[in-house]
């Protein structure tokens, strides 16, 4: 079942000046149908164009569910992250001996190219005309490989 939440901005200082509170609307919609699917819908509610940086922080820890429930998480293995500018895709992989997991996040339907910069996962410059909206769609898929159980 899809889930959505919406919010409006506080005052934002940009290189073009200050964007007044409640000018930018953000709606995040999520569903888990064939993998995690998330849409970020950004709307300019004002009568003037706005330009700002939208950064999306993505984190994966691959923690064991039993450790999460106990509150005692032990970092193991190796986590790597790769960004493909051409494919607009971020892949984070975890390996611990013969146990492997990965999450791939793909950006689509964006009005500008997404970049990976300054160690911040996904960011872009948004230029919204008056009373205008766009959708930045991200789709996460997981790949699981683990040793055979005897």
Q: pLDDT for 19-54, tens place per residue?
A: 999 998 888 888 887 777 888 888 888 888 888 888
SS3 state of residue 66: helix
Residue 131: give the domain boundaries: 3-84+106-140
Is residue 62 one of the residues assigned to a domain? yes
| Cβ contact 21:9 at 8 Å | yes
Is residue 96 one of the residues assigned to a domain? no
Is residue 41 one of the residues assigned to a domain? yes
Is residue 149 one of the residues assigned to a domain? no
Is residue 92 one of the residues assigned to a domain? no
Q: How many domains does the chain have?
A: 1
Average pLDDT, the chain: 78
Give the pLDDT confidence score for residue 148 in this predicted structure: 46
Is residue 130 one of the residues assigned to a domain? yes
Give the pLDDT confidence score for residue 121 in this predicted structure: 53
Nearest to residue 60, comparing CAs of 106, 98, 96, 93? 93
Predicted TM-score (pTM) above 0.85: no
130 confidence band (pLDDT: 50, 70, 90): low
Instruction: List, for residues 45-77, the tens digit of each pLDDT value.
Output: 888 888 888 888 777 888 888 888 999 988 889
Measured CA to CA, the distance from residue 146 to residue 132 in angstroms comes to 46
- Among positive and negative, which fits the CA dihedral 57, 62, 63, 69? positive
Measured CA to CA, the distance from residue 114 to residue 110 in angstroms comes to 8
Is residue 111 one of the residues assigned to a domain? yes
- Please report, for the domain that includes residue 115, its CATH number: 2.60.40
Nearest to residue 106, comparing CAs of 126, 93, 91? 91
Is residue 100 one of the residues assigned to a domain? no
């Amino acid at each position: 079942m899809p889930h959505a939440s919406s919010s409006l901005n506080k005052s934002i200082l940009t290189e073009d000046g200050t964007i007044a509170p409640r000018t930018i609307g953000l709606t995040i919609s999520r569903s888990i149908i064939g993998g995690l699917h998330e849409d970020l819908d950004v709307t300019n509610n004002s009568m003037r164009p706005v330009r700002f940086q939208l950064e999306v922080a993505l984190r994966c820890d691959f923690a064991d569910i039993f450790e999460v429930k106990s509150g005692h998480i032990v970092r193991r293995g190796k986590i790597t992250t790769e960004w493909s500018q051409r494919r607009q895709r971020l892949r984070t992989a975890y390996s611990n001996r013969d146990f492997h997991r990965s999450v791939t996040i793909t950006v689509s339907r964006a009005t500008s190219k997404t970049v990976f910069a300054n160690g911040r996962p996904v960011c872009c410059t948004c230029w919204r005309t008056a009373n205008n909206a766009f959708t930045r769609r991200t789709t996460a898929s997981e790949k699981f490989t683990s040793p055979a159980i005897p």
